[in-house]
Amino acid sequence: MHVGKRRYVAAAIQMESGADFAANVARAEELLDAAARRGAALAVLPETFAFMGRQAEFRRYAEPLDGPLVSRLRGIARRTGMVIVAGTVFEEAGKSAGDRADGRADDRVDGLADGRADDRVYNTCPVIAADGTLLAAYRKVHLYDNDVTGGPPARESAAFIPGDELVVARTDLGSLGLAICYDLRFCELTRRLAVDGAQVIALPAAFTLYNGRDHWETLLRARAIENLVYIVAADQAGRPPESYACNGRSMIVDPWGIVLATARDGEGIACAEIDLDRLAALRQRLPCLEHRRPEVYG
């Protein structure tokens, strides 16, 4: 049973997704059901949970946000009563009026964020309420282009259109700020989410093992401490075919930087309690967000 709206259990779901789309989606549903059985009111899936294969195939699995994949996840939310941060999905650009959470058609098909009209898609994080309502959708802002040691080069900009809006979703469980994987390295983004009211930041990821073994936990704890927020970080694990090895170690960090739960190797779930009253007390005890001086440093 859910602990309540001020205190509740969150679940960071860790997957080893591969190139079998149907199998990945079925496994995500199994893990969401397992999180619900453990009492989770909030569940976060990892980045690109439905397909970790060749970038050239991303377009094949792209849908509008009123397509079958998000619709299936909305049904799972209704059935389990959980708020679901649906990792990321490959979102078609401007295919229907329903592809935005606010119901407005996306007019950026021929005028994309970097000026190109092409076959790329958005790497989008939907947030679904416990009643199945699509509350919000965040399109990944920072795209990871890098030569990954021990794996093929990462060129997200070749497959994805960068987003240009930050999102804080208002839910029955508090205000959820949204960030995706590489966004974690940009302290400006998480600070803006906190200033805009985020109490919990949900971070779906497919963080590389090469960087993650040294940086993942440190970055998560730093972002939590400096913004006095909970972070629920759901990562991919293992090494998908034709891709780089992922870090795993999905975790939940509290506003004091304490790691509350960490997933084991392989697939699994990290669960911990979110206590919004504790968050409020910590922010009152250390009001650093109120002491900001943006007029000095921007």
Instruction: Single out the catalytic residue among 125, 181, 246, 271.
Output: 181
- Does 181 qualify as catalytic in the annotation? yes
Eight-state DSSP code of residue 182: G
Instruction: Report phi then psi at 213, rounded to 5.
Output: -65, -25
Compute the distance between CA of residue 10 and CA of residue 125 in angstroms, rounded to an integer. 17
Rounded Cα gap, residues 166 and 177, in angstroms:
8
Please indicate whether residue 47 is annotated as part of the active site: yes
Q: Which of 91, 92, 125, 140 is catalytic?
A: 140
89 vs 112: CA distance, rounded Å: 18
Q: What DSSP line would sit under 223-248, residue for residue? A: HHHHHT-EEEEEEBEE--TTSPPEE-
**What is the spatial distance between Cα 208 and Cα 57, in angstroms, rounded to a whole number?**
20
Residue in 53, 274, 22, 243 with CA at minimum distance from that of residue 153:
243
For residues 246 and 82, what is the distance between their CA atoms, to the nearest angstrom? 27
Strand, helix or coil for residue 34 = helix
Helices 187-195 and 209-227 pack at an angle, to 10 degrees, of 30
Distance CA 50, CA 204 (A): 13
Exactly one of 47, 63, 92, 217 is catalytic; which is it?
47
Q: Is 295 a catalytic residue?
A: no
Where are the strands (E) in the chain, listed by range? 7-14, 40-44, 83-85, 89-91, 121-128, 134-139, 145-146, 154-155, 160-161, 168-171, 174-178, 200-205, 230-235, 237-238, 246-247, 251-253, 259-262, 268-275
Amino acid at 223: R
- List the catalytic residues: 47, 140, 181
